[in-house]
């Protein structure tokens, strides 16, 4: 068996069956991704020859789709899965501070995932070139989610929030998952809201401000700062140094208890 077949790759998607960028890239490098579609798109997906599974209901949003994938993975007892956005246009490596376009960079990322046996991600194209360290730990999962399922038995993704960042904070702080980010393996995606289609594209801008404040109320101002993007949407910035402090203190407390101190 091809070692990469151990990783089940799921692509939640809506309204983009005519232009499944990520699916095409992954097929071209020899992988077998699975689209996760709504019932209303079954006929079209079949006509286009996609591999897919079908959600129980239409128009339930991205968090619903992600939680369905988690449930399926748990039910099927998959060890490694990847949830990945449907609109990646390019992947590549950073070599001596320069971008090298090569979609097989994703295979290198899978190698690390299989080696590390923990949850992780890759880096955005626009940030990868200036990262001093090739790998950093305990940072958020965005766009590409490598999920090591034995760590996530009791984890669900909270509805009605900025799900990728909330999920990341939850698994790192509450479930003791040490995530990794591969800084020198990158992906390229359009800015949120600029690509037609998508599961939440019509309402995301309207909800973003509410989600940002909900995140701040949940995790506290020491972790979450609210900022405004150039498109006028509210967003959040996570103070990862403070998260590191929480993790360090938690590990110290657990070690002291273990030693009877």
My answer on whether 58 and 10 are in the same domain is yes
Cα(175)–Cα(4) distance, integer angstroms: 26
Does 197 map to a domain?
no
The pLDDT value given to residue 257? 56
Length of the chain in terms of residues written? 261
**Same domain as 78, residue 44:** yes
How high does pLDDT run on average in the chain? 92
Q: How confident is the model at residue 261 (pLDDT cuts 50, 70, 90)?
A: very low
Residue 178 shares a structural domain with residue 224 = no
Which of 102-116, 138-152, 177-191, 217-231 is predicted least confidently?
A: 217-231
Counting residues of the chain whose pLDDT is more than 90, the rounded percentage is: 84
Q: Are residues 28 and 151 in the same domain?
A: yes
Domain count of the fold of the chain: 2
- What's the CA angle centered on 86, arms 85 and 89, to 5 degrees? 100
**Domain for residue 211, yes or no?**
yes
pTM for the predicted model, two decimal places: 0.92
List the domain range (segments joined by +) for residue 147: 3-190
Asked, for residue 35, whether it belongs to a domain, the answer is yes
- The reply to whether 101 falls in a domain is yes
Structure confidence by residue, pLDDT tens digits, 209-232? 899 999 999 999 999 999 987 777
Which residue carries 């999962």 as its tokens? 141
Does residue 39 sit in the same domain as residue 83?
Answer: yes
Two structure tokens written together for 19: 């232009």
107 and 218 share one domain:
no
Cα gap 123→172, rounded to integer Å? 18
Assign residue 50 the CATH number of its domain. Answer: 3.90.550.10
Q: How far apart are CA 103 and CA 21, in angstroms?
A: 12
- Same domain? For 178 and 226 the reply is no
Task: Determine the Cα–Cα distance for residues 254 and 259; give it in Å rounded to an integer.
Answer: 9
Task: Please indicate, yes or no, whether residues 225 and 254 belong to a single structural domain of this protein.
Answer: yes
Question: Mean pLDDT throughout 156-184?
Answer: 96
> Of 161, 190, 219, which residue constitutes the final position of a domain?
190
Residue 153 in domain? yes
Q: Both 171 and 212 in a single domain?
A: no
pLDDT at 99: 96
Examine the domain organization and report whether 218 and 176 are in the same domain. no
User: Residues 51, 107: one domain?
Assistant: yes
Q: Select from 73, 54, 47 the least CA-distant residue to 13.
A: 54
Domain-terminating residue out of 162, 190, 218: 190
């Amino acid at each position: 068996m091809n070692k990469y077949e151990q990783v089940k790759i799921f692509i939640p998607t809506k309204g983009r069956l005519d232009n499944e960028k990520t699916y095409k890239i992954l097929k071209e490098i020899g992988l077998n991704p699975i689209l996760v579609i709504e019932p209303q798109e079954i006929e079209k997906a079949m006509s286009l020859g996609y591999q897919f599974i079908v959600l129980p209901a239409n128009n339930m949003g991205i968090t619903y789709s992600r939680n369905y994938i988690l449930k399926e993975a748990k039910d099927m007892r998959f060890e490694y899965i990847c949830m990945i956005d449907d609109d990646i246009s390019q992947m590549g490596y950073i070599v001596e501070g320069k971008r090298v376009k090569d979609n097989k960079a994703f295979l290198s990322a899978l190698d690390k995932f299989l080696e590390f046996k923990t949850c992780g991600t890759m880096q955005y194209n626009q940030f990868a070139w200036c990262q001093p360290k090739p790998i950093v730990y305990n940072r958020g999962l965005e766009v590409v989610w490598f999920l090591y399922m034995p760590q996530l038995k009791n984890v669900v993704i909270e509805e009605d929030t900025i799900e990728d960042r909330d999920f990341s904070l939850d698994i790192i702080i509450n479930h003791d998952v040490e995530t990794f980010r591969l800084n020198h393996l990158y992906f390229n995606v359009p800015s949120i809201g600029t690509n037609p289609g998508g599961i939440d594209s019509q309402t995301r801008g309207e909800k973003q401000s509410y989600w940002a404040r909900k995140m701040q109320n949940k995790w506290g101002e020491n972790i979450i700062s609210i900022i405004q993007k150039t498109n006028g949407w509210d967003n959040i910035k996570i103070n990862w140094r403070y998260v590191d402090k929480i993790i360090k203190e938690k590990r110290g407390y657990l070690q002291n208890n273990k030693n009877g101190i």
